[in-house]
Chain A
């Protein structure tokens, strides 16, 4: 038991230690200061910029930035959709896969453009190598970079700077952050035993009966693997994602993947601190998701360690819940991975979330409902500050002034955008389709485990889509037309409505005349205000989903305790 807790604590420690360095590095990149990679990458930037015809000096307004983001994402969406539909005739298709159904291809394309990587398929049997690396791998970089660019523009706006240029931010995110780390990471992962090959599946005789041979899927996995975690993408090369020994062979690769998952969302908060020139506030803000994260890890890990009381009664002994888990990771690393991946909207999994105890279901769902437990690539950080703005608005009046955040008044426009994006999008994108699906469970849902758990399965699928997480509770027959299309709606609503709102919010904040701080100004960098923000997050963000959680994992937990069903 102790070993498991030490593993968890060490991983968290590494994540925290990396944060300030990485955060500073990203701040340098986006503040236009010199970084050590400049000499190598500057010429590359120039080539890309001159080829694409982007003029760096051109700043964008919030709406222009949003339009640039939408148009480029739409172009990429069409591009990869065509690759999927034409993959039968394209190269690097050793297994001779044909085009998937139109709705599955559409869902996959949307899912990858939105940085979600929700997969209603198994990669090794649905998409060719070319589709995997040219379409999916490509989107893993660009969708993650889109998230970073939006976060940076948001931070710039919040701190009163011009928003910048989307294309420049997108390119810099890739060339200065994602690509260098991915290259190093892919090499390390290859050294640790992950394959990187274009050869088709290996055909080898089985151990039991040399007469029978078995095909073992493989492919260009290592480079795909690192960006999957680093970019909060989470779409596995193989159907079972990071539980597959070729994606995540041992404890070392597991650690790298865990750290990679949280590195960017955590560090962006420090990047904000440097932009705002207020590191104290950055660390205080950091403490909110970190505290929630730790609590969630403890809840999940205890649940998994104690195991299922009903099963333990049959065994006659106390055993951790290892159903759906890889033995090489055990309860601790599986629980940690599950919390990390749902917290950060990565969505990679190294165990089956469906098989977690209800406590695990509760935590993973809550993570996706909140979206700020570090949250998605870039967007999580932005959401966190949107919550801060909302907290300033609700409680800021109580000091007798029009609420201000960083000296900028919070008025109608900011409240509309902030409350809309963090309070309203989620209920619309999760609860409404869930209710529609559950109204016709036989026809639409395809639930494998009816009852409270089935409810959780459905809610999880939409939450995963709306939060752009992409992990699956699994256990749903989700490759149907209904699922593909309805989750596509959640994916798009959960991604673009908030992003556009964030950019407009940043834009209107950056245009405001800052008011100098006085003793009468509400300070947002105090412990008290941090606590208030946590309360606002809890009441406004989490209580919305209280009925759902009560009917899902909570009821299931009581059901197991009582031994019903």
Chain B
């Protein structure tokens, strides 16, 4: 684009004085008119390229402004070492300071709750209106973000970020593009574009000498009219036009817009990437390491089936299950009640002395005491012990049912009433709907998925099969996460993972793409290169798509831009060298050299704004194999890039009122 700028200046000079670089043999007025038109179009080419970038940046700016409005300076209550409170401006807070936040206050900076419990409205950054409970000690809930508002109670927060380096500050500078550095891929592309520009600069700069030699020859053979016609065809303004037409201005003008738009698309997904590099890396990912719970499965196990034992029938088990779970407010308990009711179990507890027995880690069971009868449900071993303690027998069929459920990958819960075992409840891990198809798509794109779970092998393998992941690691510890990432990386693969806990931080840092949950700890967020504001780990799959889309858009527009050169060459060269007798090569039948040059330049300028929507939106991505993708995109952008300008330039030539 810099080159186009300089070209514009030079053409402006020759518009003012057409004789500047050599006496024009043709009509000076006409020459000046042509130079003027060329200057005008070149000016617009530069304008359009800047426009593309501005549009992309504008989108980010709007988002940044919204964020910035939350960050207005607040007065913080800084706690001094003697526990007294001093009011300071939030910008004066430093890492390690402690502040007291009271309900209704804006939290002044990023930090960690060290005392108190309170609910915080984080809608400014997550868009989620439900308040989030924050309390010290726990991994997940202790981190607070500057700019969010405390709704209830009081918190004492230890500040973890210096001013200007907080989470929101980073977000603002990222979406604004202030910290935009070129990604490796963009750098490589810039090199190629510079080389192409250099090549065409040499081609164009050497043309006057060659054509001048031929013009002298034509002077001698055909008379000076032919020679001058060739000289007019290779005047400075026309050569600059040729240069601008040939250098890859299209992709040059759109390159940064594509990158900014890519970041923007990620941001629209409510994910904050720390760099464009991270977004690109998403497209390159070979392996996804996914936690089972919360990512692949819904996170809660739901009752799927009642298995009667000990001579009881299904209805009796359902009834016992219903009673044992009626006071259980956990999702598991609720799902047991739902399933039982579906089977027709329904009691009216009114009037009966019923008392819920809560789950405890010691007893590993819960239940209801109804009218003196002890209904219990819990881990099979625990129920066995309970039944024995009440003098009951453990039937053989219980173990069979237990094994059956385990083999299916479920969690078995036994239900009993006093010494009498009724049956087993099959709690099933529910795979999120639609995931299987997503994993199939990923497989087609060549991305391998690995599931990590703390479950035993049998359970893990069943879930793995159901979800359609390629591999799984059962009974995994946090160290296993790093190990699996390292071993994949040792094979040269790029690995993406999600995580939220502090013990995920090393793995997040080790992975090429680490997506931390916003609900996660500060440590995890620092280590990751992306943060998901909605805390939905499944988004990692979407990020892979966005990364690929970004790369495809860049590649497609580069191919298109370079392929355009064929048509531009065939439009310009035969017409400006027409005096040398190669007019027959003018296969498009353009009217004249002037018309051909102007048409090609107009096409060259207009194609930039035409492609802006594509650059911003991104090329449509389909989960196909690389070969299918290449075939499809080559057809559209390669072949299209060859043909489209032929049609467009011819059309512009027909419309133009130039002779």
Query: Which A residues have a C-beta under 8 Å from some C-beta of B?
Result: 390, 393-402, 407, 410-412, 414-416, 419-420, 423-424, 427-428, 431-432, 434-436, 438-439, 441, 450-452, 454-455, 513-516, 518-523, 526, 528-529, 532, 535, 539-540, 543-544, 546-548, 550-551, 554-555, 558-559, 562, 564-565
B630 touches A402 (CB 8 A): no
Closest chain-A Cβ to B407's Cβ sits at a distance in Å of 32
B492 touches A516 (CB 8 A): yes
Q: Identify B202's interface contact among A411, A431, A514, A555, CB under 8 A.
A: A431
Q: Report the Cα distance A518→B208, complex, angstroms.
A: 51
Q: Report the Cα distance A516→B444, complex, angstroms.
A: 15
Q: Is B66 an interface residue (CB 8 A)?
A: no
Q: Identify which of B363-371, B424-432, B544-552 touches chain A.
A: B544-552
Closest chain-A Cβ to B186's Cβ sits at a distance in Å of 10
Additional A-B contact list (14), CB under 8 Å, known A410-B188, A411-B185, A435-B206: A395-B559, A395-B634, A402-B283, A412-B187, A434-B209, A435-B205, A451-B221, A515-B493, A532-B634, A540-B196, A546-B569, A550-B582, A550-B585, A551-B211
What sequence of 0s and 1s flags, for each residue 618-659 of chain B, a beta carbon within 8 Å of any chain A beta carbon? 000100011101110110011000000000000000000000
**Chain A residue nearest to B447 in the complex (CB):** A520
Closest chain-B Cβ to A543's Cβ sits at a distance in Å of 6
- A450, A516, A520, A558: most-surrounded residue (chain B CB, <10 A): A520
Q: Report the Cα distance A562→B448, complex, angstroms.
A: 65
B558 touches A394 (CB 8 A): yes
Q: Report the Cα distance A513→B626, complex, angstroms.
A: 21
Q: Report the Cα distance A559→B581, complex, angstroms.
A: 7
Q: Report the Cα distance A532→B559, complex, angstroms.
A: 11
Query: Which B residues have a C-beta under 8 Å from some C-beta of A?
Result: 184-185, 187-189, 191-192, 195-196, 198-200, 202-203, 205-214, 216-217, 221-222, 280, 283-284, 286, 443-448, 491-494, 547-549, 551-552, 554-556, 558-559, 562-563, 565-566, 569, 573-574, 577, 580-582, 584-585, 621, 625-627, 629-631, 633-634, 637-638
B221 touches A564 (CB 8 A): yes
Q: Which residues of B contact A514 (CB under 8 A)?
A: 492
Q: Identify B286's interface contact among A414, A415, A518, A548, CB under 8 A.
A: A518
Closest chain-B Cβ to A47's Cβ sits at a distance in Å of 43
Q: Identify A399's interface contact among B214, B280, B565, B626, CB under 8 A.
A: B626
Q: Report the Cα distance A212→B404, complex, angstroms.
A: 114
Closest chain-A Cβ to B652's Cβ sits at a distance in Å of 21
Q: Report the Cα distance A518→B492, complex, angstroms.
A: 12
B207 touches A562 (CB 8 A): no
A518 touches B446 (CB 8 A): yes
Closest chain-B Cβ to A417's Cβ sits at a distance in Å of 10
A–B pairs, 15, beta carbons within 8 Å: A399-B555, A400-B552, A401-B551, A411-B188, A419-B192, A424-B198, A434-B209, A454-B213, A516-B492, A518-B286, A520-B626, A529-B630, A539-B563, A544-B199, A551-B214
Closest chain-B Cβ to A254's Cβ sits at a distance in Å of 35
Q: Which residues of A contact B207 (CB under 8 A)?
A: 547
Q: Report the Cα distance A532→B492, complex, angstroms.
A: 27
A398 touches B629 (CB 8 A): yes
Q: Report the Cα distance A436→B210, complex, angstroms.
A: 9
Residues A407 and B548 in contact in the complex (CB < 8 Å), given A451-B217, A519-B443, A539-B563: no
Q: Report the Cα distance A436→B630, complex, angstroms.
A: 43
Residues A521 and B210 in contact in the complex (CB < 8 Å), given A451-B221, A539-B563: no
A519 touches B580 (CB 8 A): no
Closest chain-B Cβ to A508's Cβ sits at a distance in Å of 13
Q: Which residues of A contact B491 (CB under 8 A)?
A: 516
B630 touches A393 (CB 8 A): no
- A420, A424, A547, A558: most-surrounded residue (chain B CB, <10 A): A547
Q: Which residues of B contact A390 (CB under 8 A)?
A: 192
Q: Identify B577's interface contact among A432, A539, A551, CB under 8 A.
A: A551
Q: Which residues of A contact B222 (CB under 8 A)?
A: 564
Q: Which residues of B contact A436 (CB under 8 A)?
A: 209
**Chain A residue nearest to B621 in the complex (CB):** A400
A-B pairs with lowest CB-CB distance, top 6: A397-B555, A520-B446, A400-B548, A518-B446, A435-B206, A435-B209
Q: Report the Cα distance A399→B634, complex, angstroms.
A: 10
A400 touches B549 (CB 8 A): yes
Q: Identify A407's interface contact among B202, B283, B492, CB under 8 A.
A: B492
Residues A396 and B627 in contact in the complex (CB < 8 Å), given A546-B569, A550-B577: no
Q: Report the Cα distance A383→B631, complex, angstroms.
A: 25
Q: Identify A398's interface contact among B445, B625, B633, CB under 8 A.
A: B633
- B189, B191, B448, B491: most-surrounded residue (chain A CB, <10 A): B191
B283 touches A400 (CB 8 A): yes
Residues A432 and B206 in contact in the complex (CB < 8 Å), given A397-B554, A513-B492, A564-B221: yes
Closest chain-B Cβ to A183's Cβ sits at a distance in Å of 44
Q: Report the Cα distance A535→B555, complex, angstroms.
A: 15
Q: Which residues of A contact B638 (CB under 8 A)?
A: 395, 532, 535
Q: Which residues of A contact B565 (CB under 8 A)?
A: 539, 543
B213 touches A420 (CB 8 A): no
Q: Report the Cα distance A526→B626, complex, angstroms.
A: 11
B633 touches A432 (CB 8 A): no
Q: Identify A427's interface contact among B202, B493, B549, CB under 8 A.
A: B202
Q: Which residues of B contact A414 (CB under 8 A)?
A: 188
Q: Which residues of B contact A424 (CB under 8 A)?
A: 195, 198-199
**Chain B residue nearest to A538 in the complex (CB):** B566
Q: Which residues of A contact B196 (CB under 8 A)?
A: 419, 423, 540
Q: Which residues of B contact A411 (CB under 8 A)?
A: 184-185, 188
Q: Report the Cα distance A455→B555, complex, angstroms.
A: 38
Closest chain-A Cβ to B627's Cβ sits at a distance in Å of 6
Q: Which residues of B contact A435 (CB under 8 A)?
A: 205-206, 208-210
B552 touches A397 (CB 8 A): yes
A398 touches B634 (CB 8 A): yes
**Chain A residue nearest to B222 in the complex (CB):** A564
B188 touches A393 (CB 8 A): yes
Q: Which residues of A contact B562 (CB under 8 A)?
A: 394, 539-540
Closest chain-B Cβ to A187's Cβ sits at a distance in Å of 47
Residues A451 and B214 in contact in the complex (CB < 8 Å), given A519-B625, A543-B569: yes
Q: Which residues of A contact B573 (CB under 8 A)?
A: 546-547, 550
